[in-house]
A and B are shown apart, each in its own frame.
Chain A
């Protein structure tokens, strides 16, 4: 019965895919890859045939993003203000995949964590730190990181500062908009959008800084891309040498504008979008949103839109679009060789799961999008599912786990963090 339900859930997701949710046209045969793995040892996850999962660790707290060292040790950014709980280090002594050493350090909330070269970078909701690594890629001085970026705006909403690095010594930081749609009064029915939205000056974009310079403030950085409401998942695509980001689309079309949108439209609009960014790009927030059903940039109703007027002539188009409100919190381009060839250079996205749909939530899964030459080469498909542990989620509090961060291990395994219970999953492929 349960399996049937899951399958049904899967089908409805797939139905959505083939109907409407993709910017690129899809191949509906992808669904055949989803035969459920029945092994209860897969840590409760449902994976494509040949994949297995295990829990590296659990109960770490609110495990946000994750980084894996070239030797397979794991650093998890934990969203906690408790003393000494900012980052958890995991080490496996006996090679069974489970962490035997669990240590934590640092005192600051925050989401971002990433390893590049001989440094571990981590962010609070205002600052970015780096920690020097030793020859075993372990943090040398956990209590004395260098502060490389400081004073980024944190007004509570969309506060996480996710990180990516390129190969030229630059670090990219998301600064989310502290607002839903730049209204005079955030989320208030009838409140208009502010002309020349001032939030764009200090937030709602990606800022570029130097990875090795200390105490950089706004003035030392470059507003690399703007008009991005809130990005939590971002990754530097080394094949394209380009930054890709996942935007959290706006809320409240139906709640605030029932005169223009039905409940169903409110559920399905706007798309969660993937953008490939170049310096100077503008994705159009708050003036527009992307309608994944019509595949058009639409004028936001706070700025005179009505669900029909298009807009954003100067705004870039997404490279891929996904069903609304699923909250993409992790993005990873897979460069490993462990998984079958189709996964190479494709994108994994961790969808934290929606809350602002009505009559049933969506997401709570990791999806995969195949890529060729920097563009999606096929439909997205659900890769890892059943994090929530229940079907037909009505309220996000019901989910037992919610995927958030992604990282690739040196052997090509995929790591996924869960910020409900603090689980770190490791997904491997054996073909069996």
Chain B
């Protein structure tokens, strides 16, 4: 609860800052939008802290997908994941549905958000990168 209040306060602070001084970088703006996408489409499974659900839904904390190759990461969002292959040596029973209904912008935003949250630190994902991967989908 405390954490939620703190994040809420932090978020509204950021939002009001944005309103007053539109000085946030495009990367920061993408993260803020990405948080919204995360809450609507990913949080139920990957959880508010990105910790996932033990043995069911994987965490989004420093997994090889999150901090690794962007193409593979974008692919997971577009196609979902229904493999039975362990992720960093751990099995996860659930299925991830495809999220190809999200716009390029939304996918870039949510991936930029998770790559710079939950203890992750990795480069932003751009709309152009999402477009390129989507173009290769069958």
Contacts and interface: CB of A to CB of B under 8 A. Distances in A.
Binding partners A and B:
yes
A186 interface: yes
A358 interface: yes
A358 B44 contact: yes
B54 A395 contact: no
Given A255-B44, A420-B54, A189 B97 contact: yes
B3 A356 contact: no
B54 A358 contact: no
B95 A394 contact: no
A190 interface: yes
A185 B98 contact: yes
A392 B93 contact: no
B93 A397 contact: no
A326 to B, nearest CB: 14
B44 A156 contact: no
Contacts of B80: 185, 188
B55 interface: yes
B49 A355 contact: no
Contacts of A79: 55
B48 interface: yes
Nearest to A254: B44
A355 B53 contact: yes
A395 B49 contact: yes
Interface in A157-191: 157-159, 185-191
Contact of B95 (A62, A157, A255, A355): A157
B56 interface: yes
Contacts of B27: none
Interface string A340-366: 000000000000000110110000000
A355 B101 contact: no
B34 interface: no
A190 to B, nearest CB: 7
A252 interface: yes
B98 A397 contact: no
Interface in A362-417: 392, 394-398
Nearest to B95: A186
B70 to A, nearest CB: 23
A22 to B, nearest CB: 26
Contact of B93 (A159, A185, A252, A358): A159
Contacts of B4: 359, 394
Chain A interface helix/strand/loop/mixed: loop
Contacts of B55: 62, 79
A248 B2 CA distance: 31
Given A188-B80, A358-B43, A394 B48 contact: yes
Interface in B55-97: 55-57, 59, 80, 82, 84, 93-97
Contacts of A255: 41, 44
Contacts of B97: 185-189, 191
A79 B25 CA distance: 47
Interface in B29-44: 41, 43-44
Contacts of B93: 156-159
Given A185-B97, A397-B51, A355 B57 contact: yes
Contacts of A158: 93
Contacts of A356: 44-45
Given A62-B55, A359-B4, A395 B101 contact: no
B1 interface: yes
Contacts of A252: 44
Contact of A397 (B3, B43, B59, B84): B59
B66 to A, nearest CB: 16
A392 B39 CA distance: 19
Contacts of B3: 394
Interface string B96-125: 111001000000000000000000000000
Given A158-B93, A159-B93, A396 B101 contact: no
Nearest to A361: B47
Given A62-B55, A156-B84, A359-B4, A395 B95 contact: no
13 contacts: A156-B82, A156-B84, A159-B93, A185-B97, A188-B80, A189-B101, A190-B101, A355-B57, A356-B45, A394-B3, A395-B47, A395-B53, A397-B49
Interface of A: 62, 79, 156-159, 185-191, 251-252, 255, 355-356, 358-359, 392, 394-398, 420
Interface of B: 1, 3-4, 41, 43-45, 47-49, 51-57, 59, 80, 82, 84, 93-98, 101
Given A356-B45, A396-B54, 17 more contacts: A62-B55, A157-B94, A158-B93, A159-B93, A187-B96, A189-B101, A190-B101, A252-B44, A255-B44, A355-B53, A355-B56, A395-B48, A396-B51, A397-B47, A397-B49, A397-B52, A420-B54
Q: Which 4 A-B pairs have the closest CB atoms?
A: A397-B51, A188-B97, A395-B47, A187-B97
